[in-house]
C-alpha cells in the first residue's frame, strides 16, 4: 500500500521515499504490480501532483513549486518574481509603468521619467537617474556649475585647453592659453603679476595688470610688482607718502576728503567745514553725544544729561551698595553717595541689601566643578567682610576642616589659599559665612557656633533648645542635616525641627551681634524628614520637594513677614540626583548647591 499524499510529501522532504515511483525488486529494478501485459494495469496509473515547496499549492497550479513565496494569489513582492502567478513580476512596484520597479532602482514610482538608467537633466534639482543627486557637474571635473550654485565657470568641458593642460574649474592650473582656467575672473593670471607704473614712483596702477604670460622675461620699464598707487600720474602720490592735509591732494592714498583728517565725513571747521574735532571721528555735527568728556555733536556742550549712555543714579545713604528708588538723579557720572541700582528697601540699614519679592522661578543649574565627597557645603560672604570674591568649602557632612579659596576661579581650579582646622567638629551641610563669621552646628549637639575666620577663634555659642540633631529631624537624605543656617536680604536664619512642632520646619531669626534668637516661627510644613532641602530668600522659607528627583519642585513657602504658608510649584533640577545643600547669596542673587560632588549655581527670578 502506498503512503498518502501528505505523508509522501513529508517523506520526500526527508529524502526517505520516492512516493509514487514504481515498486522495485532487490536490484532496484521496477517490478509490476500484476502480471498483465497490457498498458491499463496498476503500473500505468498517473502520478498525482505534489506540493514540493509546501506552500499549499500543488505543481499543477503553482507556477514555481520550488519557491514557497510563489503561488496563485500570493502577495506580490518587489523581488523580480511573479509571486502571484499572474505572469507579471513586481507589478505592484512599478506604478508608473516605466519598466523599473522600486527595488530595482526606481526612486520615484509616480513619475515614469525618473528611474535607474534615465537620462539626467542637469541643474533642474531632480534626480532623474536615481543615483542620489541631480547632475550639477556636467563635465565631471568635480565642481558644480555656476548654474547649480557652484563656482565652475565652464561646466561644459573639464579641459578646454588646446595644449592638454588641466581644465577650467576653480583651482585648476592656470596656463598661458587665453582662458580663465581657475575661474578667478582673470585670464592667464600666472604669477608673478605686474602693474603699470606710469609715474615711476614704484607703485602700480591696480587697473592695469599683466602677468608672466605677458612678460615672460620680467617687467619692462614702467611696470612694477604691486598695485598700490591711487594716482599713477603723480609721482608724489602713493601709499605711505607724507600727507599734506587740506591741500586738496590725497598724497598717502588713504582716501576721503583732504579736509577731513579724521575721515568722519565732515570737513574741518578750520577749512570751511563744521567738524569741531577733525582729529577725532566721534566728533562732528549731529554725532551721538556720549559720556566721554568730548563735545561729540559740536554744540559746545560736553557730556549733557541727554547723552546716549547717561545713567540714572540712586542715593545710597547707608553705603551698602544698594540705592534708594525714591531718590535719584540722571547724569553721565555718579554723584558722591549714589549708585546705579535702586534695590535697597531700607537705605538706613546696611544689612538690608535689596527690595524683596516672591520667587517666580529658578533657572536650570550651572555646574562649576566636581570634586570631593558626594555631600558637602560651599559658600561665600554676601557682606564680603574679609574681601571680595572669597569662597569656602566644608567637604562631607561632618568634620573639622574649612577650606578657603581666594576667588571663584581658584575654587574651580582647586587652588587652595588656606586650610583651617576648626576648634570643634561640625554636623550637617548647613554652615554659612556671614559678615566674616562662620556659623555651623556643633557636632553631636543642637548647639550653634559663631566662629571668627580672621582670628580663627570661636567667639560665641548658642543652644537651640528643642532642636533635633544627629538625624533626629534631618532632610530626606540624612547626613546630620537637622540644623541648617541660611542667609538672605533680611539677615541670618536657622532652619530646624522640634518635637513640639511634630517634626515640622521651624524658622528662627538670629541676631549676629548678640548671637541670640530674635524671633521664631513654627510652620505647618510636612515633616522635615520629608523635605529635600530648604533655604531663605526675602524672609520667605522655600522647601524643595526632593533631594534626588529631577526635575522636582519647590512646593512649599512660608512667609515670616505675615506668618503665612502657601503651596507653590516652581521647577527645580537636581542634575546629579544627590543634592545635599541649598543656600542663597543675596549679594550675588544666586542659589548655591552641592549635588553629588558638583558645585552648582542657580539663578532665581522674582515676581
Helix intervals (H) in 181-288: none
Residue 12, pLDDT > 60, answer: no
What average pLDDT score do residues 146-174 get? 72
Distance CA 412, CA 405 (A): 9
Residue 27, pLDDT > 80, answer: no
pLDDT of residue 17: 44
CA angle in degrees (0–180, nearest 5) for 337-341-344: 80
Distance CA 548, CA 575 (A): 8
Cis upstream peptide for 192 (omega within 30°): yes
- Alpha-carbon separation of residue 202 from 232, 239, 428 (angstroms): 10, 10, 81
Grid look-up 526606481 returns 106
Q: Which residues 6+ apart lie within 8 Å of 576 measured at CB? A: 595, 596, 597, 598
In DSSP terms, which residues pair with 506 in a beta bridge?
Answer: 496, 522
Say how many C-beta atoms besides its own lie within 10 A of residue 190's C-beta: 17
Range in 150-159, 490-499, 560-569 with the lowest mean pLDDT: 150-159
Distance CA 67, CA 57 (A): 11
Distance CA 243, CA 538 (A): 65
Q: Tell me the torsion sign for CA atoms 27, 29, 34, 36.
A: negative
Q: Tell me the torsion sign for CA atoms 102, 103, 104, 105.
A: positive
pLDDT of residue 159: 64
Sort strands 324-331 and 311-315 into parallel, antiparallel or unpaired.
antiparallel
pLDDT of residue 133: 65
pLDDT of residue 351: 63
SS3 for 152-181, per residue?
ECCCCCCCCCCCCCCCCCCCCCCCCCCCCC
Grid look-up 540626583 returns 577
pLDDT of residue 44: 52
Please tell me which of 80-89, 344-353, 476-485 the model is most confident about, judged by mean pLDDT.
476-485
pLDDT of residue 88: 86
Q: Band of the pLDDT at 344, cuts 50, 70, 90?
A: confident
pLDDT of residue 46: 66
Cis upstream peptide for 551 (omega within 30°): yes
Residue 103, pLDDT > 90, answer: no
pTM of the model: 0.50
In whole numbers, what is the pLDDT of the chain averaged over residues?
Answer: 88
Range in 43-57, 65-79, 85-99 with the lowest mean pLDDT: 43-57
Radius of gyration of the chain (CA): 46
**Three cell numbers at 260?**
577731513
Chain segment 430-462, per-residue pLDDT in tens: 999 999 999 999 999 999 999 999 999 999 999
In 3D space, the residue among 44, 65, 45 whose CA is nearest the CA of residue 55 turns out to be: 65
| 8 Å CB contact between 522 and 506 | yes
Higher model confidence: residue 130 or residue 382?
A: 382
In 3D space, the residue among 432, 544, 425 whose CA is nearest the CA of residue 493 turns out to be: 432
In 3D space, the residue among 529, 549, 540 whose CA is nearest the CA of residue 584 turns out to be: 540
Helix or strand run (H / E) with residue 552: strand 552-559
| 8 Å CB contact between 378 and 392 | yes
Residue 20, pLDDT > 60, answer: no
What average pLDDT score do residues 101-123 get? 83
Percentage of the chain lying above the pLDDT 90 cut: 63
Grid look-up 615672460 returns 216
Range in 21-30, 252-261, 297-306 with the lowest mean pLDDT: 21-30
Distance CA 364, CA 324 (A): 31
Higher model confidence: residue 569 or residue 21?
A: 569
Grid look-up 587652595 returns 416
CA of residue 75 relative to chain centroid, distance: 49
**Three cell numbers at 89?**
513580476
Amino acid at each position: 500500500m502506498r503512503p498518502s499524499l501528505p505523508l509522501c510529501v513529508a517523506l520526500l522532504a526527508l529524502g526517505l521515499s520516492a512516493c509514487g515511483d514504481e515498486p522495485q525488486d532487490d536490484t532496484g529494478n521496477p517490478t509490476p504490480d500484476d502480471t498483465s501485459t497490457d498498458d491499463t494495469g496498476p503500473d500505468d496509473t498517473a502520478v498525482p501532483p505534489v506540493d514540493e515547496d509546501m506552500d499549499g499549492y500543488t505543481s499543477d497550479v503553482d507556477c514555481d513549486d520550488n519557491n514557497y513565496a510563489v503561488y496563485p494569489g500570493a502577495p506580490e513582492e518587489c523581488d523580480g518574481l511573479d509571486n502571484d502567478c499572474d505572469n507579471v513580476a513586481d507589478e505592484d512596484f512599478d506604478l508608473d509603468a516605466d519598466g523599473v520597479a522600486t527595488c530595482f532602482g526606481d526612486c520615484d514610482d509616480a513619475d515614469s521619467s525618473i528611474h535607474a538608467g534615465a537620462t539626467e537633466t542637469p541643474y533642474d534639482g531632480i534626480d532623474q537617474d536615481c543615483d542620489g543627486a541631480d547632475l550639477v557637474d556636467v563635465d565631471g571635473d568635480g565642481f558644480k556649475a555656476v548654474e547649480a550654485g557652484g563656482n565652475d565657470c565652464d561646466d561644459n568641458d573639464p579641459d578646454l585647453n588646446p595644449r592638454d593642460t588641466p581644465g577650467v574649474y576653480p583651482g585648476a592650473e592656470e596656463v598661458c592659453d587665453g582662458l580663465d582656467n581657475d575661474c578667478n575672473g582673470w585670464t592667464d593670471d600666472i604669477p608673478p603679476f605686474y602693474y603699470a607704473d606710469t609715474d615711476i614712483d614704484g607703485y602700480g596702477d591696480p587697473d592695469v595688470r599683466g602677468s608672466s604670460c605677458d612678460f615672460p622675461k620680467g617687467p619692462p620699464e614702467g611696470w612694477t610688482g604691486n598695485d598700490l598707487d591711487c594716482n599713477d600720474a603723480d609721482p608724489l602720490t602713493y601709499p605711505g607718502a607724507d600727507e599734506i592735509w587740506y591741500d586738496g591732494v590725497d598724497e598717502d592714498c588713504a582716501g576721503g576728503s583732504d579736509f577731513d583728517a579724521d575721515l568722519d565725513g565732515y570737513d574741518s571747521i578750520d577749512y570751511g567745514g563744521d567738524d569741531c574735532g577733525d582729529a577725532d571721528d566721534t566728533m562732528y555735527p549731529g554725532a551721538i553725544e556720549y559720556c566721554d568728556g568730548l563735545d561729540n555733536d559740536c554744540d559746545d556742550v560736553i557730556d549733557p544729561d541727554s547723552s546716549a549712555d547717561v545713567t540714572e543714579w540712586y542715593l545710597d545713604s547707608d553705603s551698602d551698595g544698594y540705592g534708594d528708588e525714591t531718590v535719584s538723579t540722571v547724569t553721565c557720572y555718579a554723584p558722591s553717595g549714589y549708585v546705579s541700582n535702586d534695590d535697597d528697601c531700607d537705605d538706613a540699614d546696611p544689612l538690608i541689601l535689596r527690595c524683596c519679592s516672591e520667587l517666580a522661578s529658578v533657572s536650570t543649574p550651572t555646574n562649576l566643578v566636581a570634586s570631593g565627597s558626594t555631600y558637602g557645603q560651599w559658600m561665600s560672604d554676601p557682606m564680603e567682610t574679609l574681601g571680595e570674591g572669597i569662597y569656602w568649602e566644608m567637604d562631607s557632612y561632618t568634620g573639622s576642616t574649612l577650606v578657603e579659596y581666594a576667588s571663584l576661579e581658584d575654587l574651580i581650579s582647586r587652588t587652595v589659599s588656606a586650610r583651617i582646622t576648626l576648634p570643634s567638629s561640625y554636623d550637617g551641610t548647613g554652615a554659612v559665612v556671614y559678615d566674616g563669621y562662620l556659623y555651623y552646628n556643633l557636632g553631636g549637639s543642637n548647639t550653634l557656633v559663631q566662629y571668627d575666620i580672621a582670628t580663627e577663634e570661636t567667639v560665641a555659642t548658642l543652644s537651640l533648645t528643642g532642636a533635633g540633631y544627629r538625624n533626629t529631624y534631618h532632610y530626606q537624605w540624612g547626613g546630620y542635616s537637622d540644623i541648617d543656617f541660611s542667609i538672605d536680604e533680611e539677615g541670618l536664619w536657622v532652619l530646624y525641627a522640634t518635637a513640639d512642632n511634630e517634626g515640622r520646619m521651624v524658622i528662627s531669626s538670629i541676631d549676629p551681634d548678640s548671637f541670640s534668637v530674635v524671633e521664631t516661627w513654627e510652620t505647618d510644613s510636612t515633616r522635615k524628614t520629608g523635605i529635600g532641602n530648604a533655604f531663605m530668600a526675602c524672609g520667605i522659607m522655600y522647601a524643595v520637594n526632593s533631594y534626588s528627583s529631577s526635575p522636582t519642585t519647590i512646593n512649599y513657602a512660608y512667609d515670616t513677614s505675615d506668618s503665612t504658608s502657601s503651596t507653590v510649584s516652581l521647577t527645580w533640577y537636581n542634575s546629579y540626583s544627590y543634592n545635599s545643600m541649598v543656600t542663597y547669596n543675596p549679594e550675588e542673587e544666586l542659589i548655591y548647591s552641592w549635588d553629588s560632588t558638583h558645585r552648582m549655581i542657580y539663578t532665581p527670578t522674582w515676581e
